[in-house]
Structure 1
Amino acid sequence: MQVVTGFSNTDAFDLLRPAQQCVPFVFNSPHSGRDYPDAFLRASRLDTRAIRRSEDAFVDELFEPVLSLGAPLLRARFPRAYLDVNREPYELDPKMYEDRLPSYANCRSIRVAGGLGTIARVVGEAQEIYRERLTVQEALLRIETLYKPYHRTLRRILAQTHVDFGYAILVDCHSMPSAVRSSDGGARPDFILGDRYGTSCAPLLIEAATRILRDMGYSVSRNKPYAGGFITEHYGRPAKGLHALQIEINRALYMDETRTERNAGFAELASNLGQFASELVAISDGALAAEALAAE
């Protein structure tokens, strides 16, 4: 965790590029940001350990091996508790603000009702973030200066990838708490893959990802309870050659969730994810390329 004065003089996100992009894959880590504005921390009623509970800590580092495959990696520096780019741009909770929200705000989504809109009201198990209400101006400033530039960058790199290769594959990378049970009441699996119930990517992509991870000895489920958020849904247009797959990693595999520290399994998981990405690229590349050519 790093405390910053703000993002006017600090980069809000990084686009890590290989020397040359050799594959039609783009990896994205929107929730691994750990640069916390000091004013945000002062406005919060939570201590630094509690406020990090929604952070996908170290996920960007776990996927850095994809650079050696020739794939770019986009990662946020701002934390999810401050701004969530895996939401619509204006999913805002009117109870959080001193003044009235603009008419175009989506105040009725399920995510807003749960306190997890574009500007989150809670972290973890419904722990309220703020001591006092915010101004609407503050929310709109975060959206204009962080959310929109982040998505412009993501759109640009996906569009360029599509032009260069004839199709593009977005892998949206996340982690999940280990303590929460799966939707069927059983233990949470090691990985949950989401394709918005078959709508955000070609079936062969999620089938290949599932097979690779299971062959490595991991337990894998699909779409429940995480089918993919706004990013997967918004950018996944398989009929147009734009594929989006969400991957959720059980945090117990690689970190101490209480202390937000890497554990002994971190290095092995990072190595395995590098191998996973390598095999996924090899399997998907030929099949999806043939599909893209057939569509022309």
Structure 2
Amino acid sequence: MTNPFADLFAPPFQIAEPASWTTPLIFNSPHSGRVYPDSFVKGSRLDAITLRRSEDTFVDELFAGVVSRGAPLMSANFPRAYLDVNREPYELDPRMFDGRLPAYANTRSLRVAGGLGTIARIVGDAQEIYARRIPVDEGLQRIEHLYKPYHRALENLLQNALRRFGALLLVDCHSMPSGVAQREDASKADVVIGDRYGSSAAGFFADVIEHELHQRGYVVARNKPYAGGYITEHYGDPAGGRHAIQIEICRSLYMDERRYVRTHGFARVADDLMAVAEALMREMSDYLGAGRLAAE
């Protein structure tokens, strides 16, 4: 089937694969897309800059170094404001659409109620995106031709890692606006690690991340205010050898949040995240080695 969005986002997502895949870690940046179609901007109440408020700007670039270290990196080109792959496939608000949603749509989730379903109603501080209702068919087309191919490709990566290594760790990479953790968590965190309160990954992976970041002067929180979204919840299955963990990085550490440009802190944060990635790779290698020894 031809994907009508392929040229619009050219392509909708990309996977940077290493020359040699040497580690069972997979990195994913689902919200760093920054290609905003003219038709989307023109149909919005908001200007192009304001639409970017839910974007994880430059997160894919912060983690780009993992590819040379033997791990694949997947990232979206379409923006979160257009379609959010970190939601169930059909978390949809019926008030947004012209026409009736299918009966299987989840219209009552807390994320839909908050305006942040699969197709978001708001960005930033509850700023409404759309000037008018979206045709139902248009919304469903976004899911069919962007959301589903994205998750098929991500699942293929996970299956490939599982076949190669016997286990995997998916690192879901995100950013948070400065002030979010300060408002909602007394720690005023620079980084929030989410493992669904230990249900999506073995606890020692969060321990490794926290230790490495503390060593480098970061304030780290766990699961508050971000425990992990659909991707972490859906793909994390520690009993099946599939671990998934989310990392949220405060944007003010590496970018100017008003002008969407990198600051002098970008290089340091990228270097520190590569130290975290390397530590996770060592931990995963030890984990797999211990498993093999136990089996023998």
- 1:193: Cα distance to partner? 0.1
Give the structure 2 partner of residue 52 of structure 1: 52
Give the structure 2 partner of residue 164 of structure 1: 164
Matched residue SS, 1:269: helix
Tell me if structure 2 keeps the 8 A contact 1:204–1:284.
no
Give the structure 2 partner of residue 67 of structure 1: 67
Quick one: structure 1 residues 288 and 183, their matched pair in 2 at CA, closer, same or farther if it must change by over 3 Å? farther
Tell me if structure 1 keeps the 8 A contact 2:24–2:284.
no
Quick one: structure 1 residues 106 and 264, their matched pair in 2 at CA, closer, same or farther if it must change by over 3 Å? same
Equivalent residues, number: 292
- 1:196: Cα distance to partner? 0.3
- 1:82: Cα distance to partner? 0.2
Task: Name stretches of at least 5 consecutive residues in structure 1 with no aligned partner.
Answer: none
Tell me if structure 2 keeps the 8 A contact 1:210–1:220.
yes
Matches within 5 A, 1:272-291: 272-291=272-291
Tell me if structure 1 keeps the 8 A contact 2:26–2:71.
yes
- 1:295: Cα distance to partner? 6.7
Matched residue SS, 1:22: coil
* The 10-residue stretch of structure 1 (13-22 or 184-193) with the greater mean CA deviation from structure 2: 184-193
- 1:280: Cα distance to partner? 1.7
Alpha-carbon separation, structure 2, partners of 1:7 and 1:179: 36
Q: What is the letter of the counterpart of residue 249 of structure 1?
A: I
Q: What is the letter of the counterpart of residue 267 of structure 1?
A: A
Matched residue SS, 1:35: coil
Matched residue SS, 1:277: helix
Q: What is the letter of the counterpart of residue 77 of structure 2?
A: R
Give a deviation string over 1:7-49, Cα, whole Å, max 9, x none: 3462000000010100000000000000111111111110111
Give the structure 2 partner of residue 35 of structure 1: 35
Alpha-carbon separation, structure 1, partners of 2:243 and 2:182: 26
Alpha-carbon separation, structure 2, partners of 1:169 and 1:142: 28
Alpha-carbon separation, structure 1, partners of 2:45 and 2:263: 28
Give a deviation string over 1:116-172, Cα, whole Å, max 9, x none: 000000000000000000011011000000000000000001100011001011000
Alpha-carbon separation, structure 1, partners of 2:15 and 2:295: 30
Matched residue SS, 2:209: helix
2:94 is aligned with 1:94: yes
Give the structure 2 partner of residue 108 of structure 1: 108
Give a deviation string over 1:212-268, Cα, whole Å, max 9, x none: 111111110000010000000000000000000000000010000011111110011
Matched residue SS, 2:134: coil
- 1:288: Cα distance to partner? 4.1
Tell me if structure 2 keeps the 8 A contact 1:182–1:224.
no
Matched residue SS, 1:244: strand
Give the structure 2 partner of residue 265 of structure 1: 265
Give the structure 2 partner of residue 131 of structure 1: 131
Give the structure 2 partner of residue 121 of structure 1: 121
Give the structure 2 partner of residue 7 of structure 1: 6
TM-score (norm 2): 0.95
Tell me if structure 1 keeps the 8 A contact 2:91–2:117.
yes
Q: What is the letter of the counterpart of residue 79 of structure 2?
A: P
Tell me if structure 2 keeps the 8 A contact 1:168–1:241.
yes
Q: What is the letter of the counterpart of residue 254 of structure 1?
A: Y
Give the structure 2 partner of residue 194 of structure 1: 194
Alpha-carbon separation, structure 2, partners of 1:197 and 1:289: 26
Alpha-carbon separation, structure 2, partners of 1:245 and 1:25: 11
Alpha-carbon separation, structure 2, partners of 1:226 and 1:244: 14
- 1:185: Cα distance to partner? 4.8
Matches within 5 A, 1:214-225: 214-225=214-225
- 1:182: Cα distance to partner? 3.9
- 1:180: Cα distance to partner? 2.2
Tell me if structure 1 keeps the 8 A contact 2:29–2:173.
yes
Q: What is the letter of the counterpart of residue 94 of structure 2?
A: P
Matched residue SS, 2:50: helix
Alpha-carbon separation, structure 2, partners of 1:243 and 1:295: 20
Q: What is the letter of the counterpart of residue 235 of structure 1?
A: Y
- 1:66: Cα distance to partner? 0.4
